[in-house]
Structure 1
Amino acid sequence: MCPGQMGLKVLYIVSILPPYPGGAAACYGNMLRGIVESQSRNFRRITVLTEQGCETGYGEPVKVHDRLFRHDSAPAAENSFLKQVFNYILIMGYILFSGNDIVQIHARYVYARYMGRLVWLALVLSRAKTVIDIRDRFYGNFGFGHRFLVCSKDLMGFYGWIRNKEYIPVPMDFPELKKGIEAKHRVGYFGTIAENKGIRELIEGYKQYRDGSDDPLELHIWGQNTLGPGFEAATASIQGVNYNGSAAPDEVLERMLECKAVLLPSRSEGMPRVCLEAMYSGRVVVCHQAVKSIASVLPERFVLRDLSPGEIRRALSEVESFSGKASFEYDLKEHSRGRVASTLVDFYGRVLNKDHAENRHKEEC
């Protein structure tokens, strides 16, 4: 059952796509473009079920059905239980009745309490082969019955108890960087404004750093604010801190080029694309030591040992005094969307061939 001969029929169930910001949107947007650009011959059709308002014009063989009520792309106040029930009913209908070879679904839909159990059951009943896309999430209560994708080698180790798992790198687009943009006297945070991202600790550490510096760097923050208006009011009152809202996907690299360093204080990251983008932009990267895939290629001075204000103050002082050129021993080419698309197609081929061989063996026995 070779994908190049038969043509794959694949259903992707994803939360968001561009133009919405965020790593999940960029990841699937790049994956679809990589498939269209270099692997379309291997697919009969690709159906994408996602939230309303997502981009739909990817070209053949991709058909985007933006029929889910907004959740990940909407403010929390606009979400409702009934809309989510409708979303899950629609998801289960697509799984059971759309006639695909493979269903690849974001893990958030499978592990959403009670509704997630129904989705799991639908996946079991479906004739399609299931691939659950964990991405860079950390779960501890599953790993059976289906195949799983992770986007970092660190997560391959974390999910050591899962037998059927595969590493597929984060797909990236590497456009030509704009010329003539010099780094300003600032550092940047790019990502969701949430409790588990270390953003409050970053701000507290920045306040200590600023109080002790003769020429402090500014802290510029870009990302969707999930903490409410209180966060914006608090940052507005701190000298040197600028909250700029969400950066459009095609704006991120330009904003990074304006920064001396990009900071990622979060400890729960599998493979943060913001760090890869900062590397590509040639900017200093500061991240937590728990993000081993990135921390292992950084100078020790730019690795956060913990999230205490004193440690963040130390790292900011290191960035301020740094005057060299940022360089990294990391192969960004493995993240090119064309290469990732090829790796994904090879994986699908192995999934289908393996199951075909197992079924034939059972029939012969």
Structure 2
Amino acid sequence: MDEHISEAIGRPDLIRLDDGLLCLRFETMKVVSALAAVSHLLDTGVVRRGDTLVDSSSGIYAYALALACHRYGMRCHIVGSTTVDHTLRTQLDILGAHLEQMPPSSSLKLDQNRRVDRVREILRENPDYHWMRQYHDDVHYLGYEAVAERIHARTGGGSLTLVGGVGSGASTGALTHYLGKRSVDVRLVGVQPYGSVTFGSGHVADPEIIIAGIGSSIPFGNVRHDLYDVLHWLAFDAALAGSVDLLRRHAVFAGLSTGAAYLAARWERREEPGRTVLFVAADTGHRYVDTVFARHQEAARVQDLAPRPVRGTHELTLPWSRMSWDGSPAPEGALLRSAAAGAGPGDGRRASKCQRSRAAGEGATSM
């Protein structure tokens, strides 16, 4: 029996959609990383019950951190984007989290930087607060070990292609790391939006939106670029088509990043039919009803969509590109300026070439 609702919310469902195609469906995925991170910080004495945890968020991580703080008796301070809606604001208020919401911004990068600057101000004013740094601190990898164990037990440890949004790297990177520790032959396929610097698409703009949670306009500190074998970049219109088809064909109601991962997973399954392909569905589709699902009649047929193969990021074009990454290091512009060499938890499948910092002075953002 669960001791807190966050434990139930964070437990994913593993669903077989088709022969060789599996969906790892979360209600809210970041609850997994937030719960384990806060628990670890308490166990190691970094924080104590009653302390205040602070971070920046455009919504999803705010809810996850608020739940973790409620579970462990902590205070929660969120610097939120203008995109935090009324439903979430109300939940955060009742859960006891303090939300500072930023005014509207002309660009995602400006919004992210503004939130980071405000977090730094809060830390200067309150040096006893702990900055969670979900996009920089490897502590957010820890919660995915139990998920990897569940995948291993249910799939029998056979060859697996894991597909999912990159984001901070804490979901797909951590799952790959922990599956590799169990001797699983795992191949990692990352999904990125155009306009994200993480894998070098910052020079390509999506006329619609940058898909929240799977990319960023500023460098993240705990992405392990060396773990990724293949990258897919998908524009909003392609991801919309994937989300609509996933609901229509398989009755799975999930968010926009899931639609992108679903398209990539279908393609990877076609490319290597001998491998089981599992894609990550990070959240439900409720917050995308108006922006995505209400537009279902204009969605393209997924069977009419295919990625353009590219050899370098200079060849990227909308709406969908695919490139072999083969464990390459981080591209220029994806590393923190003052990063210190480091790795994810343990030594991973390969030696990490990604540099990052846990210093509180580095920029961070949470989605």
Q: Same fold (TM over 0.5)?
A: no
Structure showing greater Rg:
1
Structure 1-normalised TM-score? 0.34
More helix by share: 1
The one of the two structures with greater contact order (alpha-carbon pairs below 8 A, sep at least 6) is 2
Structure 2-normalised TM-score? 0.34
